[in-house]
Structure 1
Amino acid sequence: MSAPIDLVRADLRDFAGYRSARSDRLVGDVWLNANESAWPNVADDANIVRRYPDPQPEALRTRLATLYGCRPDQLIAGRGSDEAIDLLVRALCMPGQGAIVTTPPTFGMYAVSARLQGARVVEVPLIDDGANFHCDVDAVADAALASRATLVFLCSPGNPTGGAVPLDDVRRLAARLEGRALVVVDEAYQEFAPTPSAVSLLATCPNIVVLRTLSKAHALAGVRLGVAIGDADLIVVLRRCQAPYPLPAPCVALVERALGDGPLSRTEARTRECFGERARLADALRDAPGVRRVYPSVANFLLVRFDDAQVAFDALLSAGVVVRDVRAQPGLDDALRITVGRPDENDRVIAVLAGVFA
């Protein structure tokens, strides 16, 4: 069986990266090795920000590994899953030569990271059967092999579509691409889905990488913390490619507090309330005049097609409701993406759309 590290750029496999003052786990009580200020800042009440932070705090990685069902050495934490996407593209795509495969409509950062690296973006559009979007994994595999792409990005649950790629399809795709490409499953919305995480496939499919984030269900978008989970040797390479000190100490402290004993039940309570509001909002929008289609969703948003999406967008904005205009995405020229809000926020969406096309 081939190893995922074999897909890494040859010039980076033995790349040492930058060794910061916190790379070596030295022990002491007088720290004079990083040119930090010896005097604290008046705003630093906890006396934690005058020192550079641990690049990958062991306690944090252990906590996140427990949360996501993997080993700590299979996980790298960074500035949101956006950083993980960028690290993967930089590590696996030679500038000006590499290629990735995406399945539009999908999250735009895959293409942005690739283009910044000079890598080609090969698109295999999702199939809209009139009721839902589906990923043709055989077509994705064919495209990856034909283009010699080293990365395939699957957003599941999909953004902005709201649908999930079945795990059997992910497994089959990874098997076809073993030794040829990594299959990156972006699970930013996994907490809202009833299906198991692709982390469960890592033991038998080493060329799978899973992205997770604390920004959605855990209500921690402002701390900018996400992870990549995959083969331990690959994670070592990604750490060497990461900029120094990616995790600010105040953000780490907030995450540790949020993921401590007890608060996870509050995450579950939030997601349960979201499930109910998602169903209520979807039912109301299906009955609203001017709405063509509301797609099923296993995320915390709905993709909605309108007779006139501009009129709907403007009416909502005039009422103080900001939704995502996704009309620039392929095949979505009449669609808006609406995040599931609190009951009063959803009531306002329903009221506005009930009146605008009446």
Structure 2
Amino acid sequence: MNAGIDEVLALVRTDLQAFAGYSSARSAAVQGDVWLNANESAWANPADAEGRSRRYPEPQPQALRDGLASLYGVQPQQVLVGRGSDEAIDLLVRALCVPGRDGVLVTPPVFGMYAVCARLQGAPLIEVPLVDAADGLHADLDAVIESARARNAKLVFLCAPSNPAGSDIALTDIERVAEALRGRALVVVDEAYVEYAQRPSATSLLATHANVAVLRTLSKAHALAAARIGTLIAAAELIAVLRRCQAPYPVPTPCAELAVQALQPGALARTRERVATVITERERLRTALQGLPGVRQVHASAGNYLLVRFADAQGAFDALLAAGVVVRDQRAAPQLDDALRISIGSPEENDRVLAALSARRAVA
């Protein structure tokens, strides 16, 4: 192993570095035609006509791992598949952070699961708020580096594009953070929305920066939110450690099979078309919203959503809800006491958003 890999493995809790984990029945490399090693039923459930759910699934379905590796341009051994990105976040915090000692750095307002997982592990939460500039909310990466060093951060989560702010982080800046924190922290780049950002993935940094890990998901651009297919991409040696810490059978067989079909060329081509539609609609909706009275600011976004500030956010929320449109109320988040997050829907759904807010203006 090279020095970079050694440094990253040293970030793992010392009591887990040689942890063997649970050896499930499906992890044994054995073959046969009568399977009596996992205490499964000999018969399919009457509701399961094809009998696909009688057996436990592969812990890491190979066809899915291979498909995800191909999609993301990495090697299969660099891929950990889990129950959405949430499981990967939780695994990272539990495997790397000693409770009460090793910190988790986040950049609020941001996706809440980083803080939830830190709290559950008893890991100190280090907050470096986004900077509210004229062109939107942006990560203060100099402050991130300084705080991570000063407060013993073991994990640094960079949400790029940021949810809900919509701002992105350039790969050169991610690289700068990783280099500054080499040997100190794992820099985890959450790219749940990167398909809408139209930039290369931070996976391109893995070959030169072993302390970078990347989160990806099939929930957003690939429209498989209910299947719960999340991916952590990192150095193969770190993935091997995390696999030993992961609960067995994380991906149900029907979900894995659906995801494999979604990674076929025809499905991927349709997904790219829909991503392009979302990007076009995002800019159309942004321009139209900026022209409405009562809208203070529409933040530029690299995701499939817009963060919108209103003079009367409650009134806007109520008007949308009365029209059957549900958006995300962000007013409880720091710096966002006047903001709603609006996901980009179909052109027809976006028209309903504009109609509801325009009608409110006419009544007012």
With normalisation by structure 2, the TM-score equals: 0.97
CA contact (8 A) 1:98 1:118 kept: no
Name the structure 2 match of 1:112: 116
Deviations 1:133-158 (A, max 9, x none): 22121110110111111000000000
Instruction: Identify the residue that residue 355 of structure 1 maps to in structure 2.
Output: 359
1:308 corresponds, among 312, 319, 340, to 312
Deviation at 1:24, TM superposition (A): 1.0
Number of aligned positions between the proteins: 358
Query: Which structure 2 residues correspond to residues 187-336 of structure 1 after superposition, within 5 A?
Result: 187-336=191-340
Q: Is the 8 A contact 1:162 1:303 kept in 2?
A: yes
Unaligned stretches of 5+ in structure 2? none
**SS of residue paired to 1:235:** helix
Query: Secondary structure of 2:25's partner?
Result: coil
1:144 matched to 2:148: yes
Cα deviation 1:123-176 (Å, max 9, x = unaligned): 001111121222121110110111111000000000001111111110000000
Q: In structure 2, what is the Cα distance between the partners aligned to 1:261 and 1:355? A: 43
Q: State the 1:302 CA deviation.
A: 0.2
Q: What are the equivalent positions in structure 2 for 1:160-171 lying under 5 Å apart?
A: 160-171=164-175
Give distance in 2, aligned partners of 1:40 and 1:47.
5
- 1-structure distance, mates of 2:104, 2:36: 44
**Alignment RMSD, CA only?**
0.9
Distance 1:98 1:180 in 2: 10
Q: Residue 78 of structure 2 aligns to which amino acid in structure 1?
A: Q
**Could you say what secondary structure the match of 1:302 adopts?**
strand
Give the secondary-structure state (helix, strand or coil) at the position aligned to 2:169.
coil
Matched-pair contact (CA < 8 Å) for 2:165–2:301: yes
Correspondence 1:131 to 2:135: yes
Partner Cα distance (1:357, 1:79) in 2: 43
User: For 1:254-298, what per-residue CA distance to the aligned partner results, in whole angstroms no more than 9, with x for missing partners?
Assistant: 111111231100000110111111111111100011100001111
Q: Secondary structure at the match of 1:22?
A: helix
**Match for 1:268: what amino acid?**
R
Q: Look up the equivalent residue of 1:181 and give its one-letter code.
A: A
The CA deviation string for residues 225-261 of structure 1, in whole angstroms up to 9 with x for no partner, is 0100001110011101111100000101111111123
Give the alignment of 1:61-80 within 5 angstroms.
Answer: 61-80=65-84
Please say if residues 286 and 306 of structure 2, whose CA atoms lie closer than 8 Å, have aligned partners that are also in contact.
Answer: yes
Given that residues 212 and 234 in structure 2 are in contact (C-alpha distance below 8 angstroms), is that contact kept between their aligned partners in structure 1? yes
Asked whether the 8 Å contact 1:289–1:353 carries over to 2, the reply is no
Partner SS, residue 357 of structure 1: helix
Match of 1:14 among 8, 15, 18: 18
In 2, distance between residues paired with 1:342 and 1:230?
Answer: 34
Partner Cα separation in structure 1 for residue 140 and residue 172 of structure 2: 12
1:342 Cα deviation after fit: 0.6
Look up the equivalent residue of 2:109 and give its one-letter code: P
Once the two structures are superposed, residues 91-111 of structure 1 have per-residue CA deviations (whole angstroms, 9 ceiling, x without a partner) of 001123221100111100000
* Partner in structure 2 of residue 29 of structure 1: 33
For residues 279 and 91 of structure 1, what CA distance do their matches in structure 2 show? 41
**Alignment-mate amino acid for residue 269 of structure 1:** E
Q: Could you list the runs of 5+ residues in structure 1 that have no partner in the other structure?
A: none
| Larger mean Cα displacement after TM superposition, 183-192 or 135-144 | 135-144
* 1:223/1:251 contact within 8 Å kept: yes
Among 51, 56, 72, the alignment partner of 2:55 is 51
1:179-226 Cα offsets, whole Å, 9 max, x none, are 000000000001111221100000111100000000000000010001
SS in 1 for 2:93: helix
- Whole-angstrom CA distance in 1 between matches of 2:344 and 2:45: 41
Rounded Cα–Cα distance in structure 1 between residues aligned with 2:330 and 2:75: 37
Is the contact made by 2:193 and 2:304 (CA closer than 8 Å) also made in structure 1?
yes
Give me the whole-angstrom Cα distance separating, in 1, the residues matched to 2:144 and 2:234.
Answer: 21
Aligned partners of 2:4, 2:236: CA distance in 1, in Å? Answer: 14
- Say which SS state the counterpart of residue 128 (structure 1) adopts: strand
Shift of 1:117: 0.3
The letter of the residue matching 2:57 is: P
SS of the residue aligned with 2:163?
coil
Match of 2:95 among 91, 100, 103: 91
Structure 2: how far apart are the matches of 1:48 and 1:19? Answer: 22
- 2:4–2:209 Cα contact (<8 Å) kept: no
Partner AA of 1:83 in structure 2: E
Query: For the residues of structure 2 that align with 1:299 and 1:80, how far apart are their CA atoms?
Result: 18
1:182 aligns with 2:193: no
